[in-house]
Amino acid sequence: MQKKESPQKEHAIWKILTLVVAVLGIVASLFCHFDTKRSTEYQIVKALSERYESVDEEMSYKQALEAVDQDIKHLKADNTTLEAENTALQSEIDSLQDKIDYSEKITLAESYASSGNYAVAIPILNSITEKDEDAVALLKEYTSNYEIGVSTEAENLADQGDFDGAVSLVNEALKIVPNSQILLDKKNNVTPQYLVDTVECYKAENLWLLDNRESIQMSGKGYRHAIYSNSSDIVINMLNGSYSAFAFYNLEGKYTQLSGIAGHIDFSGSGTLGENDAGQVYDAKITIWGDDAEIGTISLSSNDSTQDFNFPINGVKILEFRIECSGNSKVGIAEIQIR
């Protein structure tokens, strides 16, 4: 008859069996894990071999990663070299473009300058940031020619009495060459000043200076900055039938041009300035003298409207206005400008 195991021994056996089963489960789990890992690594190696020539499908996972790492390092090195080459190439392209732009600008500036259009040629040269000696020399030449041309044209306009046109011309030129002392001096030269506001009359007879707040009427229009004739003794002048007047100004030889407007003062046949009585208007003659030499004469008939005048006064020191008038007419010389 078989002997039955004791309960204690039987319990120990079950405990051992349970432990063995647990151990076997862990082993199986590890086996599955490593098997899965091997399968995954193989798939990765296979995928890498399709992408990188340096990776072979038979390589281990570690070998494949090392090969890929080397490839990446080589690619980075190649990329750095390529970037450096691209930078150098771009620098060469930029340098070549600058040379092309430089040459084109020089050619374009020369083209405009050849037709006398320095107002365009100069800004083109100024747009070159780094000028060589040739460009600097061209800019200097064109600027000098431009200054001479503008100065001459402004002088011609001023000689014709178009002072506003002369000043406007110089102002436009100063936008092209803003630091030109030649043009700045020319602007001062062609900018007119009013004689009566600039130079004091030091001797006069029967000629009066118009107050800045007043105006005289000639041919229906008001004028300022004027001198006007006014006989000192109306009765004597009426008896004599004529009168004369004069005024002297010391210009000190500073000015080159004199301009203004001359005419009969409205309603000046009799009475005093400002009275609205239409008396007889007579002929008058205005003579302008410089240093005892006659500069010009303005003849006014009784029916004449105002007359513009413009005379050169280069170097004149003593300027004199002489008026000869029949009857008691009054004569005005207005908007008198010197430059």
CB 305 within 8 A of CB 219: yes
- My answer on whether 214 and 328 are in the same domain is yes
Token readout for 195 is 């004689």
Domain closes at, from 58, 88, 115: 115
The average pLDDT across 298-314 equals 89
- My answer on whether 37 and 154 are in the same domain is no
The average pLDDT across 84-109 equals 68
Quick check: is 150 in a domain?
Answer: yes
The average pLDDT across 253-265 equals 91
- My answer on whether 253 and 314 are in the same domain is yes
- My answer on whether 43 and 143 are in the same domain is no
Quick check: is 36 in a domain?
Answer: yes
Quick check: is 26 in a domain?
Answer: yes
Nearest residue to 218 (alpha-carbon basis) of 185, 260, 284, 265: 265
* % residues pLDDT > 90 (the chain): 29
Token readout for 192 is 């007119």
Quick check: is 120 in a domain?
Answer: no
Q: What is the dihedral of CA 308, 335, 303, 246, to 10 degrees?
A: -100
- My answer on whether 172 and 218 are in the same domain is no
* pLDDT for the residue 260: 93
CB 68 within 8 A of CB 59: no
Which tens digit of pLDDT belongs to each residue from 195-245? 998 999 999 988 888 877 788 899 889 998 999 886 554 444 544 567 788
- My answer on whether 183 and 198 are in the same domain is no
- My answer on whether 219 and 320 are in the same domain is yes
Q: Is the pLDDT of residue 66 over 90?
A: no
Domain closes at, from 52, 80, 115: 115
Separation between Cα atoms, residue 12 and residue 10, nearest integer Å: 5
- My answer on whether 104 and 150 are in the same domain is no
The average pLDDT across 309-332 equals 89
Say how many CA atoms lie within 13 Å of 44 toward its Cβ: 13
* pLDDT for the residue 275: 43
Domain closes at, from 170, 191, 212: 191
DSSP class of residue 298 equals: E
Token readout for 81 is 């070299």
Q: Is the pLDDT of residue 320 over 60?
A: yes
- My answer on whether 253 and 153 are in the same domain is no
Quick check: is 83 in a domain?
Answer: yes
Quick check: is 8 in a domain?
Answer: no
- My answer on whether 224 and 328 are in the same domain is yes
Separation between Cα atoms, residue 253 and residue 316, nearest integer Å: 5
Token readout for 169 is 């011309």
CATH number for position 267: 2.60.120.1060
Range of the domain at 287: 194-338
Q: Is the pLDDT of residue 337 over 80?
A: yes
Q: How many structural domains comprise the chain?
A: 3
Quick check: is 122 in a domain?
Answer: no
The mean predicted confidence, pLDDT, of the chain is 79
- My answer on whether 153 and 269 are in the same domain is no
* pLDDT for the residue 143: 94
- My answer on whether 181 and 233 are in the same domain is no
CB 150 within 8 A of CB 331: no
Separation between Cα atoms, residue 214 and residue 198, nearest integer Å: 17
Quick check: is 124 in a domain?
Answer: no
The average pLDDT across 303-328 equals 89
